[in-house]
Amino acid sequence: MTTLWIFLIAILGGLIGSMLGLGGGLVIVPALTLLFGHDIRTAVAASTVSIIATSTGAAVAYLRDRLTNIRVAMWLEMGTAAGAMTGALVAGLLAPRFLFLLFGLLLAYSAYSMYQARKSELPDAVQPDALSRRLRLGASYYDQALGRQVDYQVTRTVAGLVLMYFSGIAAGLLGIGAGIFKVLAMDQVMKMPIKASTATSNFMIGVTAASGAVVYLARGDVEPGVAGPVALGVLCGALVGTRIMVKLRGTQIRMLFIPVLLYVAIQMIWKGVAA
C-alpha cells in the first residue's frame, strides 16, 4: 500500500520536474521524510536517483522535438561537473548557513525578475557574443504552442558557465538546486527561450546527479523498496509531463515556475536563518 502511494506521489514529482526542468527532489524528499517517515539519507538517495529518472524520461521527447540545446548543455555541464567536484573538495570548509542564505537570496531576486518578465513569450533581438558565435550556440525548434519555428541566439556565454560552476558547488554541498539554477542561467542570463531552457536543464540534470548517485549506490543508501517505486513513478510522470509542456506557451511555464522558485527561495533562506 505504501509502495503504491510512494509511486503515485513520484508521478506528481516527475510531472512537475519534467515540465519545469527541475529534479523533483522538491516533492520527493519532503514526501518521503514527512509522510512516510524515511530518514533523510534514504530520501536524498532516492531523490538523486529520481533526478536521473526525470532527466532520462523527459530528454527522449525533448531531444526529438529539438527543444534541447545539446551544445549549450555540453558547455554548461563543464561548469556544473567542475563545481560539484569543488563542492566535494571544500565540504566542511564553508558554512552551509552562509551558502543557504546566499543562494536563497539569489533565487528570491530571480523570482522577482522573472515576475517582471512574465508577459514575454520569447526574448527579443538577442545579440550573440563572440564566444557564443564561436561555439555555435544559437539554435531553432518548432514551437507547438505558437505553431511556428523559433530561431534563437544565446548571449553572456561565460557568465552562464560561471553561474553553473557556483550552482554546482551548491548542489555538491547542499544537495539542492539541481535544475533551478540551470533554468535561471539559460533563461535569465543567457537569454534563451524558456522552453528551450527547461528542456535543456532537464537534459543536464541527469549528468549532474549521476556522480552523486554512484556514491549513494556504493554506500548502500539506495533502498530498493523506496528508490524503485520512486524512480518508476517519476519516469511515468516525466513521460506525461513532456507531452503537456510542448503544448504550453512560455508565459504559462513561467507562471508555473515562479511559485516553485519562491517556495525554494523561502525554504533556503529559512534554513540559513534557522541553522
Question: Minimum distance between the CB of residue 206 and other proteins, rounded to whole angstroms?
Answer: 4
Question: Minimum distance between the CB of residue 248 and other proteins, rounded to whole angstroms?
Answer: 21
Q: Give the separation between CA 260 and CA 257, rounded to whole angstroms.
A: 5
Buried residues in 94-116 as b, exposed as e (16+ CB within 10 A): eeeeebbbebbebbbebbeebee
Q: Is 170 in the site for other proteins (CB under 8 A)?
A: no
Please report the sign of the dihedral spanned by the C-alpha atoms of residue 58, residue 60, residue 65, residue 67: positive
| Alpha helices in 119-156, H assignment, sequence order | 130-134
Using the rule CB under 8 A, which residue among 3, 120, 144, 252 binds other proteins? 3
> Which of the 8 DSSP states describes residue 93?
T
Question: Minimum distance between the CB of residue 69 and other proteins, rounded to whole angstroms?
Answer: 10
Question: Minimum distance between the CB of residue 156 and other proteins, rounded to whole angstroms?
Answer: 18
Q: Which residues does 97 contact at the CB level (< 8 Å), separation at least 6?
A: 271, 272, 275
Q: Which stretch binds other proteins (CB under 8 A): 12-20, 45-53, 151-159, 177-185?
A: 45-53
Q: Is 64 in the site for other proteins (CB under 8 A)?
A: yes
Among 74, 103, 52, residue whose Cα is nearest residue 227: 52
Q: Is 206 in the site for other proteins (CB under 8 A)?
A: yes
Q: Is 63 in the site for other proteins (CB under 8 A)?
A: yes
Size of the site for other proteins (CB under 8 A): 48
Site string for other proteins, 229-248 (x = CB under 8 A): x-xx--x-------------
Q: Give the separation between CA 128 and CA 153, rounded to whole angstroms.
A: 6
Question: Minimum distance between the CB of residue 238 and other proteins, rounded to whole angstroms?
Answer: 9
Among 58, 34, 111, residue whose Cα is nearest residue 269: 111
What are the CA-CA distances from residue 148 to residues 70, 96, 153, 253 (Å)?
21, 46, 17, 18
Q: Is 212 in the site for other proteins (CB under 8 A)?
A: yes
Q: Give the separation between CA 119 and CA 122, rounded to whole angstroms.
A: 9
Q: Is 144 in the site for other proteins (CB under 8 A)?
A: no
Q: Give the separation between CA 267 and CA 275, rounded to whole angstroms.
A: 12
Q: Which stretch binds other proteins (CB under 8 A): 8-16, 148-156, 202-210, 241-249?
A: 202-210
Residues that bind other proteins (CB under 8 A): 3, 49, 52-53, 55-57, 59-60, 63-64, 66, 68, 70-71, 74-75, 77-78, 81-82, 84-85, 88-89, 135, 172, 206-207, 209-215, 217-219, 222, 224-225, 227-229, 231-232, 235
